[in-house]
Amino acid sequence: MSVGRETRLSAWIERFAAHFAEEGIPLIGGRILGYLLVCQPVERTAAELSQELEASSGSISTNLKYLVNVGLVSKRTRRGRQAAEYRINEKAWTDFIQRKLNAIASVQTLTDDGMRLLSGDPERSMRLKTVDHLYGWLSEELPALWERRPASPK
């Protein structure tokens, strides 16, 4: 006997959240993200999320605030509705990933500063030079690659 689609989806959401938990996003934040990516209808209130994800209203509030802040989720308020509606902002994933790539490339400024401190001492700067070269290359190539990213499909 096979499990239902919704059951498998909630297992998927849990995997999704677990992945981003490793990257430092709180578990509940990851669950919200995963859930908002696949729920129907696309918009949910904080109270609904609290119920669906079995998380306290406080946690939902904190994490929604964070997610709205980084842009991954949009908040919409409507006249005549006291409850705000939240939905995934799938466009914001590009910025989200770009920040990650930038974080890697940014080490170059660090190695660069180190090289400057060791200038005039080629013996001693050999180790750093290897690392600096690699990051120097990355800080050229990653932004260039990013420029070539495809437009999202309609």
Q: Which residues of the shown chain bind a copy of itself in the complex (CB under 8 A)?
A: 5, 8-9, 12, 15-16, 19, 23-24, 36-38, 40, 42, 88, 90-91, 93-94, 97, 100-101, 103-104, 106-107, 110, 113-114, 117-118, 123-125, 127-131, 133-134, 137-138, 141-142, 145, 148-150, 152-153
Cβ contact 64:35 at 8 Å? no
From the list DNA, a copy of itself, none, partner contacted by residue 54 (C-beta under 5 to 8 A by kind): DNA
**Helix axis angle, 122-147 relative to 93-105, nearest 10°?**
160
- Least distance (Å) between residue 100 CB and a copy of itself: 6
Which of 10, 45, 74, 125 binds DNA (CB under 7 A)? It is: 45
Query: Using CA atoms, how far apart are residues 37 and 88, in angstroms rounded to an integer?
Result: 6
Q: In residues, how long is the chain?
A: 154
First to last CA, the chain: 37
